Every structure is written in structure tokens, then in C-alpha cells.
Amino acid sequence: MTVSNLQLEAAINKLKKAGVRITPQRHAVLEYLLTSHSHPTADEIYRALEKKFPNMSVATVYNNLRILKELGLVKELTYGDDSSRFDINTEEHYHIICEECGKIVDFHYPTLDEIESLAEKVSGFEISHHRMELYGVCSDCAEKKAKEKTKEGLNV
């Protein structure tokens, strides 16, 4: 059994324990999140599954994501592009975001607990959590830009 299958089985068990029905659509959304290795929007999930489930609406995808989020099976990521993205990896980790295409990649680094502790001491706040994002241009977009520059140079 692969890691994805084990994760899917664990997620389904958690849904069952919470009294949530395992509909084919809900199963497909979970499976997509586990196998896509990306941070998709609800619309991207809908487009990926619409051929398999032609009667499924975008609202169904949103409702399923809401339930998965409430049960702690996914995290909702809100960044500057006005559309939430969903992350099946609920462990503490950080993200690198492409400023060109919006692609989000996980970045693992020891948690920044020391900074939280220092922030509490300095500010008097009781820190509940933090989020770290790094921004740049992914290799695909950098390559595309380089090709465009080369093409422009040839057309001058």
C-alpha cells in the first residue's frame, strides 16, 4: 500500500468517525488532493474531476473542502491571488510562491518556535501560530522568460 493510499484510508476513517458520509465525490476530492502534489484551488479540483462527475457542481467541491478543513484534513491557504488554495499536508511547513504563475511549493525547515517565543516576550502577545512564505520565480517561469527574451532579441 502506498503512502497516498494509507493517507486516504486514514482520512476516510476520520470522516467516518465524525459521522460524515463517504460519497464518491468526497472520495475523489480527497484522492485528488493526496495525489496532485500541488496546492489546488476549488476550481482546479472541479475541472480535474468534472469529466468523472459531470453532475457535480463547484459548490459540491467547496462544501467538501469546507468539511475536510473543519475536520483538520486540509489547510486553506489564502494568498494574494484572491483564490484560496488547499493543502493536504497539515504538518507544520512553509511555502515558496511563484510571483508569475502562482505555483506553491512546500518548503520544510525546522519550525520557528524560538521566534514565536521571542515575539511573545517582546510584544506581550500570546502567539498561536505563524506562517512563512518565500516569493520568487519558479524554474518553469524563469525558463519561459528566458525563451521570451531570446525570441525578442532575435526579432529586434
Taking a C-beta distance cutoff of 8 angstroms, is the pair 115, 123 a contact?
Answer: no
Q: What is the mean pLDDT of residues 10-29?
A: 94
Taking a C-beta distance cutoff of 8 angstroms, is the pair 43, 58 a contact?
Answer: yes
Q: What is the mean pLDDT of residues 127-135?
A: 88
- E strands, 36-132, are 75-77, 85-87, 94-98, 104-107
Q: Which of 95, 76, 97 is nearest to 87 (CA)?
A: 76
pLDDT band at 132 (very low <50, low <70, confident <90, very high): confident
Residue 77 vs residues 74, 90, 112, 123, 148: alpha-carbon distances, Å:
9, 11, 19, 26, 31
Whether 117 shows a pLDDT value over 70: the answer reads: yes
Q: Which residues pair with 94 in a beta bridge?
A: 107
Burial, 39: exposed, middle or buried (Cβ in 10 Å; 0-12, 13-18, 19+)?
A: buried
Whether 122 shows a pLDDT value over 90: the answer reads: yes
Per DSSP, 41 falls in state B
What per-residue confidence (pLDDT) applies to 68?
96
Q: What is the pLDDT of residues 28-42, one digit of tens each?
A: 999 999 998 889 999
Q: Kindly list the structural domains of the chain, giving each domain's residue range(s) and its CATH number in brackets, ordered by start.
A: 1-90 (1.10.10.10), 91-156 (3.30.1490.190)
- Pick the range with the lowest mean pLDDT from 15-29, 34-48, 103-117: 103-117
Q: For the chain, first and last CA: distance in Å?
A: 56
Q: 125: which 3 cell numbers? A: 502577545
What per-residue confidence (pLDDT) applies to 155?
67
Secondary structure class of 98 (helix, strand, coil): strand
| Single pTM value for the model | 0.80
DSSP element (H, E) containing 134: strand 133-136
What per-residue confidence (pLDDT) applies to 129?
84
What per-residue confidence (pLDDT) applies to 138?
95
Give the chain's mean pLDDT.
89
DSSP element (H, E) containing 121: helix 113-123
What per-residue confidence (pLDDT) applies to 28?
95
